[in-house]
Structure 1
Amino acid sequence: MSNDKMKNTILKAYAPASIGNVSLGFDLLGAALKPIDGSLLGDEVEIEIAEQFSLVVKGRFADKLPPDANSNIVTRCYQHFIAELQNQGHSKSTLPALKMTLHKHLPIGSGLGSSASSIVAALYALNQFFTEYLGKAPFDNNELLLVMGELEGQISGSVHYDNVAPCFLGGLTLMAEHQEQVALQLPVFDNWYWVSCYSGISVSTAAARDILPKQVSMADTIQFGRQLAVFVDALYRNDEKLAAAMMFDVIAEPYRKSLLPKFDESRSFAEQHGALAFGISGSGPTVFAVCDNLENAKIINQWLADNYIQNDTGFSHICQLDTSGASVSHS
């Protein structure tokens, strides 16, 4: 697309919500979500050429973000990206100013990778925009993922990829955290439904980490490693029963569930009604239930909507894994 045409074009990127940890893979597994009813469960960022940089924030959860645009993570993404372009030899005077619009569809502190979704949408949009504007991609996917992890670390306090990787790449991802291969995409079971219920309360990642023990026992460490290894092997052998049997959390859930009202009751109902697994999405308060048939998923989804949700900001969706990850469109 010519630069003249880009002046009249809006580029929009979408990045889906994600489940960090997926119970058994603390900081090492992540899964991207897509509601089966077609509703959006993720943030969007629009970019268009302007006279000077600006950020507009819209959407259901826009008022939960700081009103100062300079403190918004999308602004930081823009500043970081432009600095990296300058490091690559591009003069700032030759780069167009941009108006960015964040459509904040995900609640903050929900355990659905809210900050990761904004970061992925912003950086993916910027990379796609400047690929078209400059005629060459500033970053390949792995390089871009490293930048996403760095920006995510500015919010959470440490660099981790279990939300940004599935949000960007899609599907179910295992964190390699190797400089040349940050994340690996794993096989998935297409017939699994992931009921995802946000209660409406907020749990900060920092608070959820503070509640964890500073040391883990040898027995739990061995069990954690065994579960993750067996789970990955079962995925590749298409062994649903064994994979599901590994999906319980010995590291974080025993401590974090105390932060989530009605967690044990919700787990009990889900398991009694056919859930293959039940756990905390990321740091919570969102929980997820995995089912291998839609009827069970519908029953569990309705019960969670009626019983786990605490206020009118909560919601529950029947999802499958979003194997596409971040996407971009033009208008």
Structure 2
Amino acid sequence: MEARRVMSKQNDMQNVNEAVMRGKVLRAFAPASTGNVSLGFDLLGAALKPIDGTVLGDEVDLELASEFSLVVKGAFAHKLPADHDTNIVTRCYRHFIKVLGDKGIVLPAVKMTLHKHLPIGSGLGSSAASVVAALHGLNEFYAQVLGEVPFNQHQLLLIMGELEGQISGSVHYDNVAPCYLGGLTLMAEQADTLALQLPTFKHWYWVACYSGITVSTAAAREILPKQVSMPDTLKFGRQLAVFVDALYRQDEKLAVSMMTDVIAEPYRKSLLPYFDESRQFAMQNGALAFGISGSGPTVFAVCDNLEQAQKISLWLKENYIQNDTGFSHVCQLDEQGAVVKNANA
């Protein structure tokens, strides 16, 4: 009898909260990210935010509805499948609802609108941004219906990795973790700790230039050797360990000296027209480091001077970009990660 009273009270509260939420639209934003950060193949990732206020990331709007639906808008909406049932945002919704349904929690449907600002196959964590915006948005939206978040941060990150893996072909967190948590993250992938947020150099500028061509994650992985030599393995481990230590001690010179890629870049750069020339210009004009963002074709340059960053960004815009869908932005790290706001305001 007491259990039925508690359930009835919870249902009454949910009905009240649903009434409050009607007509409200929540907007979730998830920033672009760069995986690997050159030296940390599959183990490092960083969230990026243009300093000029450009929206570099995906947004998802959520509002109560009689049944689920998805609308897709944005500059790169036409690059997604026409069948919304296959869209990763739809998959996120269905997975989210199923997991809660298996626990006996029945939720009202929502209308979701994906604003697809990030190009597909760009090396900027495009699929991760859609996944994070969708799942973080759902978690915060239904928190206002239920009175508490359905999933804690760790649980939600696990789900994000699983869903993003459906797109990239394998579960890895070097895009979803920084996209969700913000800043620079190191993947731990332990039972109770999936990712760790690292100290950063706040004065660094990150130039991110997307050339406009597409490089699929699957193709970029296929080009890599199946085995890595012992010397390269030792160098990779040493670089990552020293880099993390240098971040904690704020030894900028030592950290920069570790930022070279011995695992992927030697092979993947063949997929990126004008990569070597771009690296040469950047390094000759003040860049601290230069590399491939994720699996490419986006490249990034790290600078400690805004004027140098702007000069490199302009040169890349004029020389590295291949078509009119490309872009180049001077960024800093997005320390917030995914955020939700009231779109009605």
Does the alignment reach a TM-score above 0.5?
yes
Unaligned runs of 5+ in 1: none
- Quick check: 1:303 aligned with 2:318? no
1:171-192 alpha-carbon deviations (Å, 9 max, x no partner): 0000000121100000010100
User: Match for residue 106 of structure 1?
Assistant: 118
Find the partner of 1:203 among 201, 207, 215. 215
Is the partner of 1:178 in helix, strand or coil?
coil
User: Match for residue 265 of structure 1?
Assistant: 277
User: Match for residue 242 of structure 1?
Assistant: 254
Distance 2:48 2:132 in 1: 14
- Quick check: 1:230 aligned with 2:230? no
Unaligned runs of 5+ in 2: 1-15
User: Match for residue 72 of structure 2?
Assistant: 57
Distance 2:170 2:193 in 1: 19
Distance 1:244 1:207 in 2: 29
Is the partner of 1:230 in helix, strand or coil?
helix
Distance 2:192 2:49 in 1: 28
Distance 2:190 2:158 in 1: 10
State the one-letter code of the partner of 2:242: V
Distance 1:86 1:180 in 2: 24
Is the partner of 2:137 in helix, strand or coil?
helix
Pairwise CA RMSD of aligned residues? 0.7
Any conservation in 1 of the 2:17–2:146 contact (CA below 8 Å)? no
State the one-letter code of the partner of 1:234: A
1:104-161 alpha-carbon deviations (Å, 9 max, x no partner): 0000000000000000000000000111101121110011000000001101111000
User: Match for residue 179 of structure 1?
Assistant: 191
Any conservation in 1 of the 2:120–2:126 contact (CA below 8 Å)? yes
User: How far did residue 17 of structure 1 move?
Assistant: 0.1
User: How far did residue 198 of structure 1 move?
Assistant: 0.0
Find the partner of 2:61 among 35, 46, 52. 46
The 10-residue stretch of structure 1 (66-75 or 129-138) with the greater mean CA deviation from structure 2: 129-138
Is the partner of 1:2 in helix, strand or coil?
helix
Distance 1:235 1:183 in 2: 16
Any conservation in 1 of the 2:32–2:118 contact (CA below 8 Å)? yes
State the one-letter code of the partner of 2:209: C
- Quick check: 1:75 aligned with 2:90? yes
Q: Size of the alignment, in residue pairs?
A: 328
Poorly superposed stretches of 4+, deviation over 6 Å: none
Distance 1:239 1:274 in 2: 18
Distance 1:159 1:187 in 2: 25
- Quick check: 1:89 aligned with 2:104? yes
- Quick check: 1:159 aligned with 2:171? yes
User: Match for residue 14 of structure 1?
Assistant: 29
User: How far did residue 8 of structure 1 move?
Assistant: 1.1
**TM-score w.r.t. length of structure 1:** 0.98
User: Match for residue 305 of structure 2?
Assistant: 293
User: How far did residue 88 of structure 1 move?
Assistant: 2.1
Larger radius of gyration: 2
User: How far did residue 262 of structure 1 move?
Assistant: 0.2
User: How far did residue 51 of structure 1 move?
Assistant: 1.3
State the one-letter code of the partner of 2:144: E
Distance 2:45 2:222 in 1: 21
Is the partner of 1:177 in helix, strand or coil?
coil
User: Match for residue 126 of structure 1?
Assistant: 138
User: How far did residue 3 of structure 1 move?
Assistant: 2.1
1:275-323 alpha-carbon deviations (Å, 9 max, x no partner): 0000000000000000001011011000000000000000000000000
**TM-score w.r.t. length of structure 2:** 0.94
Any conservation in 1 of the 2:206–2:330 contact (CA below 8 Å)? yes
